A and B are shown apart, each in its own frame.
Chain A
C-alpha cells in the first residue's frame, strides 16, 4: 500500500473538522501528499458530517469512497460508512458505547477497534473533549504514522492555552498512541516512509478558496468586496486577513452592492475582485452588463454549489456554466474560465486580472464547493510570487505618469484597431475619465446616433477576437490512443485524471478550463477522439451542450451527477463500465 485513507465521522459541533484539519496538517508536515475533503450539512450543530484524509507517498488529487480507518464519533458513522471500508480497515470507536455492533463490523470484513477514548481522555487527561485526540492517536499508531508529527501539531495548536494544556494533550495523545501500537498486528494499511522533498520546501495545506485569494493578492488586487455566502465566503475572509498588504476589502449589504463597489474601485484604477455563489452571483448579473458597456475590468469569482433556489448550500455541483456564459442583458464581451484545482486556482486567478485589464471587460472565474474547501498539500514554492508579478499585464491602463505624456485630448472610449481604448487612472488633469452607461461616444457622452452605435458595438465585441487568441485549448491527459475520451471541465480535474491513471489505457481526458471566448482550436481534441463521454456535475450536461454550439459535435454519452456529492474516481470508473 502506498496510501491510507482516514475518515472521521461525527455530528456538527463534535470537532470533526478541527480533528481532520489537525491530522491533515500533521501528515502534510511529515512530507506525505495529502488530499482532504469535507462533507457537511448546512447546520451549526447535529447532523452527520465527515472529513476524509488521503495520505500517500504519491500525488493524490481526489477523494475516495474507500476508508482504511474510520473514526466513528457519532452513531451514524458506522451504519453509513461500514459498507465503504477497505478489507480489514479499522473502525475506531469508544469502548464505552453500546450502539456499535462489533460483530457486524467483523462480518463486513472490517476490524472493530473499541478503544478507551473517553477513559484515556478523563483519566490521563481531565476532560472528555480530548477523546478526539485519543482517537487520532490510535489511528496514527495503526497506520504507522510518526507520533512526533502529531505531537508537533498539538504543541502548536495548544500553545496559546499554556504549557499545562500542551502537556496534558500530549500525555493523552501518547497514551492513545501506545494503546494503538499494541494492536497493529495484521493491520494492512501502514504508511510507507514519506517521499523525499527534493528541495521543494515545506508543504502548505491549501484549499481552492485560499489559492484564489493568494492568486489575487499576488496579482496586485487592491480592492475586493462581497457578501457572505457558502462556499464563496472564505475568499472574502482570506482577503480581509490580508488587508495589511494594502487591499481595501469591504463586506457590503448585498451582492449587488458588492459588485458595484468592486466596479467603483476598478473605475478608480485598481485591480478589483468580487464574487459569490449561485444565487448571490445571480444578483450581480446586471452589473456584468454595466462592466461590459463601460469597459471596466473586473474579476468575478463564482464558487458554484448545488442549486436551484437555495439548493444544496453545502454541497458541490457544476450547475452554473450556462448561466455564467450568458449572464447579463444585452451583448458585450465577457471572459469565462474555470479552475481545475488549488494550484491552478492560484495562477488562473492571477491571469484573470491580466485578462480583465487587457480586454477591459468582466472575467468570470468558475470554481466549485468541492475544490473551494478540499485541502491539498502543495509545496510553498509551487505558488510562486515572482512568476505572477513577472506576468502582470495591465493592457492599455495609463498611469498618471503616462497620462502626463499624452499629446491629444483624452476620450475614454477612443476607437482603436483592436477595440481597446487607453484606460486612464482618474485624477489627472490631462485625462478626465467620463463614461455613461447609456450608449456613448468616444468621450463617454450619451448619444443614440446610429453610426456611433454600430461603431461602438463593433469596438466592444471586437475585443473577443483578441481574447480568443489567448484562450487555452482543453488539456489532453492520458494515452492519445485510448478508445474512450472523457470530456470534463473545472473542478472535476482531480477525480478524472485519477480515473485516467487507474484505467490502464482504456480512457483519456479532454478537460476544458477556458470557456469563453471559445479557444481557437478548442474543438480539435474532440475531432480526434474515438468515442466521447461528457462527465459533468450537473443534470443537463451543460458543457456538452455548449460544445455542440461551438463545434457542432454532439456528445451523446453522458455521465452526469447531481446529488451534490463530488464524483470520486471510484464512482466514475464504475460508470465508465456501462459506457465502454
Chain B
C-alpha cells in the first residue's frame, strides 16, 4: 500500500470549483457564498490540494457546502458533524479536516458534541455559519437569535437568551477562537487559513446574513456598521481580555482572533497515531501482530 500521492505544486481556485453539483440552491445574496469563497481562497492560499481536504457538514442551508466545493466531503446529520469529523481526522491525521455547521445545527442540536470537541482538541477546523436563524426550515428562532426575534415559533418575540459562541468556546477550552463576517471575505479567508494551520481544534464563528429571514437586524448593512478588527487592539494570548471582548455586542462587534494557545492535540496523545506518525491509521495493514495478539490471550489464562 502506498501513502498519499504528493500534492500538486500549485493549487488554483479552479481546482476547488464544484464538479459534483450542477446547481447551487442558496438564495441570491446568501452569506454562505462569502464563506464558501473565503474557504476556497484559504485552501488555495495554503496550497492544499482538494484530495487532501475533507469537509464534513451537518444539515441546514450552509451544510450543503460540500456539494459546492471540489474536494472530499460528507454531509452527515443535523448536529452530528463534529464527532464524525474527529473520528475521521484521527484515522487520517495528515489530511485537512473541516466541519461546517450552522448555529442551530452545531450549537443547538449538536451542542453537547461542540462542548466536548473543544476540550478534546482534535486537530480540525470548525466553521460556524451563524445566521441567527433556522433558514432552511423557514426562519424559526435559533440558539443565537436575538431577544425579541419574531418567527413562526416565536410569534411574541424570542424570549430566550442568545448564546455567545465566543464566550462558550473560551470557557470550554477551545485553543483557537475567532469570529469572521461573511461580508468581509478577505479577512475571513485569512482567519480560515490561520484556523487550518492551528494545531488543534479551531472555531470561527462566522456572522452570516440570512437575506430571507433577517430583514432588520443581522443584515449586511447592520453588520457592516458594527464589525471591527480586533487585530490592532487585542493580544490573542490574553484569555481574560478575550473573555471581555467576547461580551462585546451591539454598536461594536469584534472580529478576528480572540484567543489562541497551543495545547497537546489528540494526535500527539493517541497511541495508535504515535506508533507510526508518518502513516495514517487508515493506510495501515489490517492484521495485528501475532505475538501481540497471543499476549492478549495469555493475559486471560
Give the B-binding residues of A (Cβ under 8 A): 28-29, 202-206, 210, 214, 217-220, 222-223, 225, 242-248, 250, 252-254, 256-258, 260-272, 286-287, 290, 294, 380, 383, 385-386, 389, 392, 394, 399-401, 404, 425-438, 443-446
Contacts and interface: CB of A to CB of B under 8 A. Distances in A.
A248 B80 contact: no
Greatest chain B CB density within 10 A among A206, A218, A426, A435 is at: A426
B301 A264 contact: no
Interface stretch (B89-97, B180-188, B218-226, B233-241): B89-97
9 contacts: A202-B301, A222-B282, A248-B270, A252-B83, A260-B82, A400-B4, A425-B283, A428-B5, A435-B74
**What are the 8 tightest A-B residue pairs by CB atom distance, in nearest-first order?**
A220-B286, A264-B87, A264-B84, A260-B83, A261-B87, A269-B282, A204-B300, A445-B20
Contacts of B5: 400, 404, 428-430
A286 B92 contact: no
Interface string B85-118: 1111111101100000000000000001101100
Interface stretch (B50-58, B151-159, B192-200): B50-58
Interface residues of B, number: 71
A253 B118 CA distance: 12
B66 A434 contact: yes
Given A205-B300, A253-B116, A427 B2 contact: no
A256 B80 contact: yes
Q: Which of B49, B66, B276 counts the most chain A CB atoms within 10 A?
A: B66
A417 to B, nearest CB: 24
Contacts of A401: 1-2
B3 to A, nearest CB: 7
Nearest to B20: A445
Given A245-B292, A432-B72, A261 B272 contact: no
Contact of B297 (A220, A383, A429): A383
A404 B275 CA distance: 26
Nearest to B49: A429
Contacts of A261: 83-84, 86-87
Contact of B59 (A264, A389, A430, A437): A437
A425 B281 CA distance: 11
Contacts of A394: 286
Interface string B109-144: 000110110000000000000000000000000000
B73 to A, nearest CB: 5
A262 B8 CA distance: 31
A206 B71 CA distance: 46
Given A217-B296, A223-B281, A428-B5, A445 B72 contact: no
Q: Interface centre among B275, B294, B301, by most A CB within 10 Å?
A: B301
B290 A250 contact: no
B288 A427 contact: no
Contacts of B20: 434, 443-445
B21 interface: yes
B200 to A, nearest CB: 16
A265 B288 contact: no
Contacts of A257: 80, 82-83, 112-113, 116
Contacts of A260: 76-77, 80, 82-84, 87, 113
A222 B284 contact: yes
A269 B48 CA distance: 21
- From A28, A294, A428, residue with most partner B Cβ within 10 Å: A428
B64 interface: yes
Given A261-B87, A263-B84, A428-B51, A436 B75 contact: yes
Nearest to B273: A248
Contacts of B3: 400
Contacts of A222: 91, 272, 281-282, 284, 286
Given A214-B297, A265-B88, 15 more contacts: A253-B113, A257-B80, A257-B112, A260-B80, A260-B87, A263-B84, A268-B89, A268-B92, A268-B282, A286-B77, A294-B74, A427-B51, A429-B51, A432-B72, A436-B74
Contact of A250 (B73, B87, B280): B87
B298 interface: yes
Contacts of A437: 59, 75-77
Contacts of A250: 86-87, 90
B289 interface: yes
B271 A243 contact: yes
A231 B8 CA distance: 50
A435 B76 CA distance: 9
A188 B171 CA distance: 68
Contacts of B83: 225, 252, 256-258, 260-261, 264
Contacts of B88: 264-265, 267-268
B205 interface: no
A428 B142 CA distance: 38
B260 interface: no
Contacts of B56: 264
B287 interface: yes
A438 B64 CA distance: 9
A294 B8 CA distance: 29
A268 B87 contact: yes
A28 to B, nearest CB: 8
A442 to B, nearest CB: 10
A217 B74 contact: no
A223 B122 CA distance: 15
Given A222-B91, A246-B281, A426 B292 contact: no
Contacts of A253: 112-113, 115-116
A428 B273 CA distance: 20
B70 interface: yes
Contacts of B50: 432
Given A257-B83, A428-B51, A446 B21 contact: yes
Contacts of B76: 260, 263, 290, 294, 437
Contact of B75 (A219, A268, A435): A435
Contact of A433 (B22, B72, B288, B293): B72
Interface string B261-286: 00000000011110110001111111
Contacts of A28: 301
Nearest to A386: B290
